[in-house]
Amino acid sequence: MSDEPREKPGNFIRDIILEHNASGRFGGTVITRFPPEPNGYLHIGHAKAISIDFGMAREFGGRCHLRFDDTNPTKESQEYVDSIIDTVRWLGFDWGKHLYYASDYFEQLYAWAVQLIEAGKAYVDDLTADEMSEYRGTLTEPGRESPYRNRSIEANLDLFRRMRAGEFEDGTRTLRAKIDMASGNINLRDPVMYRIRKAAHHRTGDAWCIYPMYDWAHGQSDSIEGVTHSICTLEYEDHRPLYDWYLDQLGVHHPQQIEFARLNLSHTIMSKRKLVELVQQGLVSGWDDPRMWTLAGLRRRGYTPEAIRDFAERVGTAKAAKVVDIAFLEHCLREDLNRRADRRMAVLRPLKVVIENYPEGQVGEMEAVNNPEDPAAGSRKVPFSRVLYIEQDDFRDPAPPKYFRLSPGAEVRLRYAYIVKCTGVERDASGQVVTVRCTYDADSRGGDSRGRKVKGTIHWVSASHSIPAEVRLYDHLFSVPKPDDADDWKTVLNPRSLEVVRGARLEPTLAGADRGSRFQFERQGYFCVDARDSAPARLVFNRTVGLRDTWAKIQKGAG
């Protein structure tokens, strides 16, 4: 990043840890964990959580575990486990040997459940899901106790053992904690600890037919691992009393749960349900569609892990639910790419230019700097010849006010090549300009204006030397900043979120570019070779993000 480490913004979680360290609550150790459920792909919001979990641990010389909260076999799969591991690693975080699964603790969890039953703190309930919902009460009315609430400890022990043995069908019984059906906090109204699910688990196979609920698994898993700070998002705030209750009943190591506001990004939706819908209904091409803000999507789009980490740190950590402007993510990206991406010339929508006074058959070699931000990146040679392609947008007849590019009679600099002057155009039957005719100033080699005032510089490629490519231009998937606010979020999908440009022409040095490699196409933006669809003989580039475009603003202002 920058030479001097950016000053870290204040952070209430850090303050809490500092207090713990001062009071000696955890003996000065800091152990955190990132606990994804393997039921989907990670998105940019997870990057913030990962950054906080791993960041706090690193800052205090502790460690962060990667633990899968795999307690619901019907929704989870190995595919998701694999993608999550791959993604967190790609982001640049390392959990060392501390890779865990809640399913590793099933036996211990079962033993602890038996312990709670023996203490009269848990019971087997025969209520159906619907009945249980009815008994639970509402937000404003207390619930009622289940008729099965006061079974004997012996009966509960027996029933629970038989639940595990598979004697009962799915949904017929649950194990519940005996807490308080009248609590204002609904999580405390005798929460379910175990449900029967005769489903194969991606790790434990058929070993179990009862599975622990999140609340029963999570805190205890934290405890087993010696976690000190269990950092999670705001929606778990009213689960904290339950988190604490279980741990207190068991009398085991008791981590501190701390909640922060999850990340919301403008022009996106973070709901897992909606994300799944986008993918399953084919509204996008997959979890890694470059328009997606999943980490897999951002990665394929060309985002760097560094930029994402920088963004995650810079958005801050607080408790107010806010929506961060996606322009900030893009800013962090440009900042990183500007420093690192080599420059190349690529013409997306070619317009033929003939340099009338450049000898036919002659090929010049123009020296082009690879990265003005990084002298060590060196330079390259780009071929120049009589027939070139320039961007259609770089020629206008007549030229609008303040247009610095090419137009009849105007002079412009061809980047790293020569100053040229437009002498005329050729049009087709419909009046469309098909060829621009120019003359060049041989003394301006390299682009030296030699005292003249040449305001415009445009990029170009030599027609016969250039290579073809498909270029995919992306825009926000949603056309409004807050799709969640729309009556129907699917109606605000941006119809122009993907534009495929097939006839692009690239400078020849781009031939053989590796999949995933990133470049700045001068004056246009940052692009990367698509990791999925590109092939040496058929290059496909993704536009990662455009350059800031002051000209576009001027035009917009001019109406």
> Interaction with RNA in 129-148: which residues (CB under 7 A)?
129, 132-133, 136-140
Instruction: At 55, list the tokens.
Output: 């960041």
Query: What whole-number distance in Å separates Cα of residue 146 and Cα of residue 123?
Result: 10
37 is catalytic: yes
37-56 residues in contact with RNA (CB under 7 A) are 37
CB 412 → RNA: shortest distance, Å?
Answer: 9
Choices 380-388, 408-416, 492-500, 508-516; region in contact with RNA by CB under 7 A: 408-416
Number of residues that bind RNA (CB under 7 A): 96
| Cβ atoms of 297 and 329 closer than 8 Å | no
Contact mark string toward RNA, 441..470, x via CB under 7 A: -----xxxx------xxx------------
Nearer to RNA, 279 or 531 (CB): 279
Choices 294-302, 319-327, 384-392, 466-474; region in contact with RNA by CB under 7 A: 319-327
Nearer to RNA, 99 or 234 (CB): 234
Query: What whole-number distance in Å separates Cα of residue 335 and Cα of residue 329?
Result: 10
Q: CA end-to-end span of the chain, whole Å?
A: 38
Which residue type, as a one-letter code, is found at position 8? K
Exposure letters 365-400 (e unless 16+ CB within 10 A, then b): ebebbbbeeeeeeeebebbbbbebbbbeebbeeebe
Which residue type, as a one-letter code, is found at position 293? W
Judging by beta carbons within 10 Å of its beta carbon (0-12, 13-18, 19+), is residue 137 exposed, middle or buried?
middle
- Residue 338 within binding range of RNA, rule CB under 7 A: yes
543 is catalytic: no
- Residue 392 within binding range of RNA, rule CB under 7 A: no
The bridge status of strand 31-34 relative to strand 63-68 is: parallel
188-217 residues in contact with RNA (CB under 7 A) are 192, 195-197, 211-215, 217
- Residue 327 within binding range of RNA, rule CB under 7 A: yes
306 is catalytic: no
CB 68 → RNA: shortest distance, Å?
Answer: 9
- Residue 334 within binding range of RNA, rule CB under 7 A: yes
| Annotated catalytic residue, options 37, 145, 237, 373 | 37
Assign 3-class secondary structure to 340-353: HCEEECEECCEEEE
Q: Which uninterrupted H or E stretch holds 67?
A: strand 63-68
Contact mark string toward RNA, 66..85, x via CB under 7 A: ---x-xx--x----------
| Cβ atoms of 320 and 261 closer than 8 Å | yes
Other C-beta atoms lying within 10 Å of the C-beta of residue 442: 11
Choices 122-130, 249-257, 466-474, 489-497; region in contact with RNA by CB under 7 A: 122-130
Q: Which uninterrupted H or E stretch holds 520?
A: strand 518-521
Which of 128, 150, 362, 491 touches RNA (CB under 7 A)?
128
| Annotated catalytic residue, options 14, 58, 197, 262 | 262
Contact mark string toward RNA, 217..236, x via CB under 7 A: xx---------------xxx
Nearer to RNA, 234 or 511 (CB): 234
The residues that are catalytic are: 37, 262, 272
